[in-house]
Homo-oligomer: A and B are copies of this chain.
Amino acid sequence: MPRSTRRRPALAHPATEEIDLFDVLHALSDPTRMTIVRVLRAEPERACGTFPVDVAPSTLSHHFKVLRESGLISQREEANRRFSALRAADLEHRFPGLLDTVLAAHDRTASGAVSGVGSGAGAGARVEGGEEG
């Protein structure tokens, strides 16, 4: 048995045509998850623990699961790290313009919120999502 990176059940992602609009809207209606999506939109990939959100690891894991099962993100395992990426192309194919428009709407609301995205100084930097609990 290969002891490689495949012990746990392979991460389940919905196919592009299976992506449900209500799931997407629901996933996007949470500030923490919106922050994650926004960060992911500025970077091709990122490890789970490096997002500028202020929640417990278990909570973060839950949010990633919601995002993944909604089809918004994909996750890839590498060693003991899990990298997430926005399924921008799939989303664009399934719901043209949706992601851009929603993200633009959020930008308009909280303009210039995601600090340090792309600079690698994300850990510790807080964004606008996370204190509403």
CB <8 Å contact, A21 and B92? no
Interface of A is mostly: helix
Bound Cα distance A89, B52 (Å): 35
Q: Determine which of B34, B88, B94, B129 lies in contact with A96 in the assembled complex, contact meaning CB atoms within 8 Å.
A: B129
In the complex, identify which listed stretch (A1-9, A59-67, A104-112) lies at the interface while the others stay far away. A104-112
Number of copies: 2
Which of A76-129 touch B at CB < 8 Å? 86, 88-89, 91-92, 94-98, 100-102, 104-106, 108-109, 126-129
Least CB distance from A27 to B in Å reads: 9
Interface size range of chain A in the complex:
35 or more
CB <8 Å contact, A20 and B102? no
Whether A44 is near chain B, meaning CB under 8 Å from some CB there, is yes
List chain B residues, Cβ under 8 A from A44. 133
Q: Among A44, A89, A97, A104, which residue has the most Cβ atoms of chain B within 10 A?
A: A97
Bound Cα distance A92, B26 (Å): 21
Using a CB–CB distance below 8 Å, which chain A residues touch chain B?
A: 20-22, 25-26, 28-31, 34, 44, 86, 88-89, 91-92, 94-98, 100-102, 104-106, 108-109, 126-133
